[in-house]
Amino acid sequence: MTLGFLTTPLMGLTGTAVAGRLGSPDALAGLAVGAVLFDLLLGTFNFLRASTTGLVAQAFGCGDRREEEAIFWRSLVLAVACGLAIVLLSPLLHVAGLFIMAPSAGVAQVTSTYFLIRILSVPMALTNYTLLGFLLGRGRAVAGLALQATINGVNIALSVLLGLLAGWGVAGIAWATVAGETVGMLAGFMLVLSRFRGGDRPKRSDILARERLRALLSLNRDIMIRTFVLIGAFALMTRIGASFGPVVLAANAVLMNLFLVAGYYLDGIANAAEQLVGRAFGANDRSAFDRAVRLTMGWSFGLGIVTTLLFLMAGPHVVALLTTTQSVRAEAELHLPWAALTAITGALAFQMDGVFIGAAWSSAMRNMMLAAFAGYAIALAVLVPLFGNQGLWLSLNLFLALRGLFLLSRLPALAERRFILAPGRG
Say how far apart CA 273 and CA 140 lie, in whole Å.
14
pLDDT (0 to 100) of residue 426: 43
Q: How many CB atoms lie within 10 A of CB 239?
A: 17
The pairs formed by 291-295 with CB atoms below 8 angstroms and a separation of 24 or more are: 292/355, 292/358, 293/355, 293/411
pLDDT (0 to 100) of residue 134: 92
Say how far apart CA 98 and CA 101 lie, in whole Å.
5
- Residue 351: name the closest of 280, 266, 231 by CA: 266
Q: How many CB atoms lie within 10 A of CB 116?
A: 15
Kindly list the averaged pLDDT for each block of 10 residues, start to end, along the chain of length 426. 66 70 73 80 82 87 83 91 94 88 80 90 94 88 86 88 84 91 94 77 77 80 85 84 84 82 80 88 88 94 92 86 80 89 94 91 92 96 92 95 96 86 48
Q: List, as one string, the DSSP characters of 383-395.
A: HHHHHTHHHHHHH
Say how far apart CA 43 and CA 141 lie, in whole Å.
22
pLDDT (0 to 100) of residue 189: 94
Q: How many CB atoms lie within 10 A of CB 81?
A: 12
pLDDT (0 to 100) of residue 5: 66
Q: List, as one string, the DSSP characters of 22-65.
A: SS-HHHHHHHHHHHHHHHHHHHHTTHHHHHHHHHHHHHHHTT-H
Task: Assess contact for 235 and 39: CB atoms under 8 A.
Answer: yes
- Residue 419: name the closest of 276, 290, 291 by CA: 290
- Residue 29: name the closest of 244, 255, 251, 236 by CA: 251
Sign of the CA dihedral running 6, 311, 254, 390? positive
Say how far apart CA 168 and CA 162 lie, in whole Å.
6
pLDDT (0 to 100) of residue 425: 45
pTM of the model: 0.76
Residue 291 burial class via C-beta count within 10 angstroms: exposed 0-12, middle 13-18, buried 19 and up: middle
pLDDT (0 to 100) of residue 4: 67
pLDDT (0 to 100) of residue 8: 64
